[in-house]
């Protein structure tokens, strides 16, 4: 069986951090499309709700994302169904369209999809037992959840190539050195520190935070002159917002 994490949304008061928690399940092929649909529903809800200030991705259990059983890749249609479900639902496009900060809080294994999800976030915390990996190259594939593009944006090209091509397991401290995560802390402190970061972000003026996020990401995708113009536009928008 391929083991993944199913997502559910926990209800929180208005203006509190929006948490996307994940319960570990064994997903059969027919559940994959539903899982992707659920993620999309959550993200669309976040985009439509002006009261959401921050999104936090967490996982119950020992691992953020234990990944798939590589023995099944290439021998069962489930891997293709999984990727079709992701692309068909455009999870990654929705993630990039979330205007509020997104935080990933990882423990244990963060493999494949989980690592790629974290790379789409704006701030990443890892417990000291966290291990990250993109295993696709071992079985003749490349990451198809955005990692080939996001790794070189959050770190550098050399680190991105080494991670994708070698498919090594990367310890949390090494991930911090490579720029893949922003903080490494003891497992026991992960939840409290995540809540602290989330509540700090949620306490900032919403328009300012959204504008700042948009301006920084514009620097990744736009030429410098155009990015500077975009920064000025966003700064004026933030100042004019109540």
* Cβ contact 40:90 at 8 Å: yes
What does the alpha-carbon distance between residue 35 and residue 6 come to, in Å, rounded to a whole number? 6
Same domain, 192 and 210: no
Query: Based on the domain organization, do 220 and 162 belong to the same domain?
Result: no
Torsion of CA 138, 63, 123, 196, to 10 degrees: -170
Whose structure tokens read 């891997």?
79
pTM tops 0.85: no
55-114 pLDDT, tens per residue?
A: 999 988 899 987 654 444 444 445 555 555 455 447 778 888 899 999 999 999 999 888
- Range(s) of the domain holding residue 128: 2-203
Same domain, 119 and 184: yes
Q: Write the pLDDT tens digit of every residue in 13-28.
A: 334 445 554 433 333 3
Do 220 and 194 share a domain, yes or no?
no
Pair (130, 219) in one structural domain? no
Q: What is residue 105's predicted lDDT score, i.e. its pLDDT?
A: 96
230 and 199 together in one domain: no
Q: How far is CA 10 from CA 42, 60, 99, 115, in A?
A: 11, 13, 20, 22
User: How many angstroms separate the Cα of 146 from the Cα of each of 49, 75, 87, 240?
Assistant: 26, 24, 11, 35
When divided into structural domains, the chain yields a total of 2
CA 7 to chain centre: 13
Better-predicted residue by pLDDT, 177 or 3: 177
| Together in a domain, 144 and 224 | no
Are 119 and 73 within one domain?
Answer: yes
Tell me which residues are annotated as active site: 116, 136
CATH of residue 58's domain is 3.90.226.10
- Same domain membership, residue 177 and residue 212: no
Question: Same domain, yes or no, for 73 and 186?
Answer: yes
Do 229 and 151 belong to one domain? no
| Paired tokens of 159 | 């680190």
Residues 142-160 pLDDT 10s: 887 778 888 888 888 899 8
Whole-angstrom distance, CA of residue 64 vs CA of residue 104: 9
């Amino acid at each position: 069986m391929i083991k993944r994490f199913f997502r559910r949304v926990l209800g929180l008061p208005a203006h509190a951090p929006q948490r996307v928690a994940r319960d570990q399940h064994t997903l059969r092929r027919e559940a994959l499309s539903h899982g992707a649909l659920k993620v999309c529903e959550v993200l669309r809800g976040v985009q439509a709700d002006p009261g959401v200030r921050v999104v936090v991705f967490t996982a119950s259990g020992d691992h953020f994302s234990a990944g798939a059983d590589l023995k099944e890749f290439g021998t069962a249609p489930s891997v293709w169904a999984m990727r079709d479900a992701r692309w068909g639902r455009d999870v990654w496009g929705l993630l990039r369209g979330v205007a509020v900060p997104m935080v990933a809080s990882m423990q244990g294994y963060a493999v494949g999809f989980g690592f790629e999800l974290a790379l789409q976030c704006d701030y990443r915390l890892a417990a000291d037992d966290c291990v990250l990996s993109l295993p696709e190259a071992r079985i003749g594939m490349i990451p198809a959840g955005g990692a080939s593009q996001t790794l070189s944006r959050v770190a550098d090209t050399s680190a991105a190539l080494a991670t994708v091509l070698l498919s090594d397991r990367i310890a949390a401290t090494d991930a911090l050195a490579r720029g893949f995560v922003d903080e490494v802390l003891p497992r026991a402190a992960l939840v409290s520190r995540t809540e602290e970061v989330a509540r700090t972000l949620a306490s900032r003026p919403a328009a300012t935070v959204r504008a700042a996020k948009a301006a920084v990401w514009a620097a990744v995708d736009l030429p410098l002159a155009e990015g500077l113009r975009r920064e000025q536009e966003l700064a004026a928008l933030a100042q004019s917002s109540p």
